[in-house]
Structure 1
Amino acid sequence: MAREFRSPRAAAHRSDPSPDAQRRALLRGAAAIGIAGAGALCAPPARANDLKTGQPAPPLVLHTLDGRSIATRDLLGQVVIATFWATWCVPCREELPLLSAYAARHAPQGLQVLGFSLDEAQNLPKVRTVAASLSFPVGLLESPWVPAYGRIWRLPVSFVIDRAGRLADNGWDADPPEWTAQRLQRVVGPLLARSS
């Protein structure tokens, strides 16, 4: 099940003083302030960004743990899955091995997965440990706000970009949002079967 951020009041009742818990509480608080400040005139955060499948996907750049920058605009001709996760997200940690195995099997067909971690820099050792087991590059996301994709408020969430650079699957609309073997085959399989 996807992990949705809860209210700052709920976070305050927790006694977990860890940096992860503090970061989650801060993200929740920021979301509550943004929603309260915007009032009822704004759409929910997942819809506010107007992502449209079939339209050009907004650009993303992954700054990898080993210092490279991978831009989706440089991956035209490949199918790209941009996945957002965190070490403290249990559904994410369950999904990552499946996604990694799928990425490794289908890389020869032109599949590229980019892993954006919402962990903070102080959790870099944990992120590196997880990343070492994955077949795709991982980097830390500097902010939960991603231009044109909105605030990453639910984890895991992924977006699929086709070979022509169009958004093929909007993760905000996915129900359930986690990847399964069946969902990968249904969503990504046909894109891999098509040439550019």
Structure 2
Amino acid sequence: MPSSHRAPKTARRRAILLLLAALAAAHLPAPASAANLALGKPAPPITLHTLDGGQIATGELAGSVVIVTFWATWCGPCHDELPLLSEYAAAHARQGLKVLAFSLDGPDALAEVRAMAAKLSFPVGLLGSAWAGDYGRIWRVPVSFVIGRDGRLADNGWQDSAPAWTRQRLEQIVTPLLSIKE
């Protein structure tokens, strides 16, 4: 008889836990692929806190084409993508290209992040959390977003099925934006 009383209590407890989980989920930030990242709409602001103690906000880069990229030292595709992106960024800096690179690594990997950053032509900083403001929770890397000279989102990395940069993707997505003058 005691076990029959336990079953309803267990079921009731599960139902309450599910209800609490649903309520908690309703208050979480919107997922990264939410409608607030719409192509042609103003890009969400984000600030890179660089490894050397500086700050660069996307809002300060109006008139530039900006690639906001998220990566990590433990990410294999990032090791291929970052040198390519660095070379492209250096070659197109005079045309107004800026890259802000956010590492998902924690402070314990700072030496590794600094070693990778030393080889790059653009500023790097630690994200400090899996949440990147209105870009959402960064759940895969690499992932990048492109902001046009007008401050509008030109490429949403969450919608890219193959998100790592290649020469072809850079030529298709970024190069045309560089030829547009504000």
TM-score, with normalisation over the residues of structure 2? 0.83
CA distance in 2, matches of 1:105, 1:134: 12
- Counterparts of 1:19-38 in structure 2 under 5 Å? 38=25
CA distance in 1, matches of 2:22, 2:113: 30
2:46 is the counterpart of 1:60: yes
- Counterparts of 1:54-93 in structure 2 under 5 Å? 54-93=40-79
CA distance in 2, matches of 1:35, 1:162: 37
Aligned residues: 161
How much identity, in percent, do the aligned residues show? 62
CA distance in 2, matches of 1:97, 1:119: 18
Letter in 2 for 1:129: A
TM-aligned CA deviation for residue 78 of structure 1: 0.3
- Counterparts of 1:37-48 in structure 2 under 5 Å? 38=25, 45-48=31-34
TM-score, with normalisation over the residues of structure 1? 0.78
Closer/same/farther in 2, CA of residues 35 and 80 from structure 1, 3 Å limit: farther
Closer/same/farther in 2, CA of residues 101 and 35 from structure 1, 3 Å limit: farther
Cα-Cα RMSD: 2.0
Structure 2 partner of 1:154: 140
TM-aligned CA deviation for residue 113 of structure 1: 0.4
CA distance in 2, matches of 1:36, 1:103: 44
CA distance in 2, matches of 1:74, 1:83: 17
Structure 2 partner of 1:190: 176
Aligned mate of 2:93, from 107, 125, 131: 107
CA distance in 2, matches of 1:55, 1:111: 20
Counterpart of 2:98 in 1: which secondary structure? strand
Counterpart of 1:84 in 2: which secondary structure? strand
Letter in 1 for 2:122: F
Aligned mate of 2:164, from 162, 178, 187: 178
Q: Is the 8 A contact 1:49 1:149 kept in 2?
A: no
**Structure 2: tracts of 5 or more residues without a match:** 1-20
TM-aligned CA deviation for residue 125 of structure 1: 0.2
